[in-house]
A and B are shown apart, each in its own frame.
Chain A
Amino acid sequence: MSKKLEELKYTDSHEWVSLEGDTATVGITEHAQEQLGDIVFVEVPEVGANFTAGDNAAVIESVKAASDIFSPLDGEVVAANETLSGSPEIVNSSPYEDGWLFKIKVSAADVNKLLSLEAYQKLIDS
């Protein structure tokens, strides 16, 4: 990953967001993958889908639980990590790099609603 963890933004539902211009890459955090345990199924969104922040965008199922992944921002999906359908365990082994889920072209980048690393750390430590 080109960015450091402190350069990413986070949600209280444990997604991370990496913004490059108007494209946001989305994945789940180390804390989230650890809580889920072995991941056995990932359903990524279709390219072209339009999301409003908070919409269900993807599904991750682990041996323990099914977890909905929410779109952190408004925008259109421009890429989805199709590798994950065959190798969902990549989300466990590389949540910030090879385990990214989807990229959206952000229409209204209201990034102020997202959390800093410090704020996210506080959230998971509480």
Chain B
Amino acid sequence: MKKTTLYDKHIEASAKMVDFAGWGMPLHYGSQISEHKSVRSDAGIFDVSHMRFLSIGGEDATAFLRLLICGDVQTLIDGQGLYSCLLTEQGGIIDDLIVYKINSNDYRMVVNAGTATKDIAWMEKQLNALGFAGKVTLSEHNDKNILALQGPNACAKFAAAFPEYAAAQELDKFHFASYADGDVFVARTGYTGEDGYEVVISDSVVIDFWDKLMASGFVPTGLGCRDTLRLEAGMSLYGNDLDEEHSPLSSALSWAVHWNKDAAEPRDFIGKNHLLQEKEAGVQQKIVGIYMTTPGVLRSGTKVTTEQGEGVLTSGGFSPTLNHSIALARIPFAHKGSECSLTIRDKEVAAKIVRPPFVKDGKANEKMIY
């Protein structure tokens, strides 16, 4: 099992370690629910260094990325990031990712741990197939760590711990800045629905960085609450809600597809033709939120029955903020309204279809109800 540079720090903080995509990662440090609440009310720190940090560079880097992913990096200014997907020719999602534009010849990308090998192989294949071999370089950084600092007090606590990086508080959402000769890369992004940063930081300084943040009142938070936080925020998890069998259009990610209809230069990208065909024929499925009104816990794989046919829970769990069970489900696109039922341990249980996010600004999202 691979270990992140902070492995011993997690053990020191009494983490329960689990195998996640071949990495020994902290599931929780005692109580997943109290960690969840710390992120909603204060500030938590996640080690997500199992995720991979890549560089894509060269004079044709922009041209390559415009073809490679479903979002258009041409829309970015230097210092801005974009959530996007790698698609198969058939429009299926190979992975979801964030790409960061340093400048038009130099990009960074964060991809999921479990899919990194497949992603890199795919990108290398496309480099050759699309004629960018030798013109665009792709490299993986193995000396970097990724820490997510999340919660309403995360930015202020970070500034107090590191006055030299206090300017990060001025960053807009999805923008980033680099400090200390690139040893510290701070992006205003996250996977919890709260304000905060994702920091990419070199091995040489990460231990000291962690210790300082601990001393500044950040609570160590594990992958367990990362999942319930992202679910409350209505964010997709690759492998659960997203996969190669489904396109962004049938996965609540239409907003991540840039069609460049009005652009002077129309843009082709891998999978575009299939997405156009899918739109033409009518998208068959969609992802919605499910709110369980009775006690019990929802799990992925559970059958959902709607008036328009069956669906399935793609992610499920207990929401500590709502004190109820919530889920994401893939159901027939034609379904309207809030009625559905779930089959839990051979029993039919009524549940509500809602519009994620389930939680906004640390509280129940009143607007999720249809």
- Seen from chain A, the residues whose Cβ lies within 8 Å of a Cβ on chain B are 37-38, 40-41, 43, 59, 61-64, 66, 85
Point out the residue from A43, A61, A63, A85 that lies within 8 Å of B228, measured CB to CB. Answer: A63
Q: With an 8 A cutoff between CB atoms, is B317 at the interface?
A: yes
Tell me whether A61 and B32 are in contact (CB under 8 A): no
Question: Per-position contact with A for B2-43: 1 when CB-CB < 8 Å, else 0?
Answer: 000000000000001000000000011001110000000000
Q: With an 8 A cutoff between CB atoms, is B79 at the interface?
A: no
A6 to B317, CA, bound (A): 36
Tell me whether B28 and A37 are in contact (CB under 8 A): yes
A16 to B228, CA, bound (A): 31
Which residues of chain A have C-beta atoms less than 8 A from B297's C-beta?
A: 40-41, 61-63, 66
Which residues of chain B have C-beta atoms less than 8 A from A63's C-beta?
A: 32-33, 224, 228, 297, 317-318
Distance between A40 CB and nearest chain B CB, rounded to angstroms: 4
Chain B residue at minimal CB-CB distance from A42 = B295
Q: Which of B206-252 contact A (CB under 8 A)?
A: 224, 228
Point out the residue from B16, B33, B318 that lies within 8 Å of A41, measured CB to CB. Answer: B318
A37 to B15, CA, bound (A): 12
Tell me whether A66 and B31 are in contact (CB under 8 A): no
Chain A residue at minimal CB-CB distance from B35 = A38
Which residues of chain B have C-beta atoms less than 8 A from A41's C-beta?
A: 295-297, 318, 325
Other than the given A43-B295, A64-B224, 9 more pairs (CB < 8 A) read A37-B27, A37-B31, A37-B224, A40-B297, A61-B296, A63-B297, A63-B317, A66-B297, A85-B295
Which residues of chain A have C-beta atoms less than 8 A from B325's C-beta?
A: 41
Q: With an 8 A cutoff between CB atoms, is B352 at the interface?
A: no
Distance between B104 CB and nearest chain A CB, rounded to angstroms: 44
A7 to B138, CA, bound (A): 64
A62 to B224, CA, bound (A): 11
Q: With an 8 A cutoff between CB atoms, is B335 at the interface?
A: no
Q: With an 8 A cutoff between CB atoms, is B267 at the interface?
A: no
Q: With an 8 A cutoff between CB atoms, is B66 at the interface?
A: no
Query: Would you give 17 A-B contacts (Cβ < 8 Å), ordered by A?
Result: A37-B31, A38-B31, A40-B33, A40-B297, A41-B295, A41-B296, A41-B318, A41-B325, A43-B295, A61-B296, A61-B318, A63-B32, A63-B228, A63-B317, A64-B32, A66-B299, A85-B295
Which residues of chain A have C-beta atoms less than 8 A from B224's C-beta?
A: 37, 63-64
Closest 7 CB pairs of A and B: A61-B297, A40-B318, A38-B33, A63-B32, A38-B32, A41-B295, A41-B297
Question: Per-position contact with A for B296-330: 1 when CB-CB < 8 Å, else 0?
Answer: 11010000000000000000011000000100000
Distance between B226 CB and nearest chain A CB, rounded to angstroms: 12
Distance between B44 CB and nearest chain A CB, rounded to angstroms: 16
A37 to B32, CA, bound (A): 7
Distance between B16 CB and nearest chain A CB, rounded to angstroms: 8
Distance between B347 CB and nearest chain A CB, rounded to angstroms: 11
Which residues of chain A have C-beta atoms less than 8 A from B296's C-beta?
A: 41, 43, 61
A98 to B49, CA, bound (A): 40
A64 to B316, CA, bound (A): 10
Which residues of chain B have C-beta atoms less than 8 A from A40's C-beta?
A: 33, 297, 318
Distance between A41 CB and nearest chain B CB, rounded to angstroms: 5
Which residues of chain A have C-beta atoms less than 8 A from B27's C-beta?
A: 37
Chain A residue at minimal CB-CB distance from B299 = A66
Question: Per-position contact with A for B330-346: 1 when CB-CB < 8 Å, else 0?
Answer: 00000000000000010
Distance between A103 CB and nearest chain B CB, rounded to angstroms: 22
Distance between A29 CB and nearest chain B CB, rounded to angstroms: 17
Chain B residue at minimal CB-CB distance from A64 = B224
Chain B residue at minimal CB-CB distance from A35 = B16
A85 to B294, CA, bound (A): 12
Which residues of chain B have C-beta atoms less than 8 A from A61's C-beta?
A: 296-297, 318
A43 to B294, CA, bound (A): 12
Distance between A49 CB and nearest chain B CB, rounded to angstroms: 16
Distance between A70 CB and nearest chain B CB, rounded to angstroms: 15
Distance between A110 CB and nearest chain B CB, rounded to angstroms: 28
Distance between A84 CB and nearest chain B CB, rounded to angstroms: 11
Which residues of chain A have C-beta atoms less than 8 A from B31's C-beta?
A: 37-38
Chain A residue at minimal CB-CB distance from B345 = A59
A123 to B190, CA, bound (A): 42
A61 to B344, CA, bound (A): 13
Distance between B276 CB and nearest chain A CB, rounded to angstroms: 41
Chain A residue at minimal CB-CB distance from B225 = A63
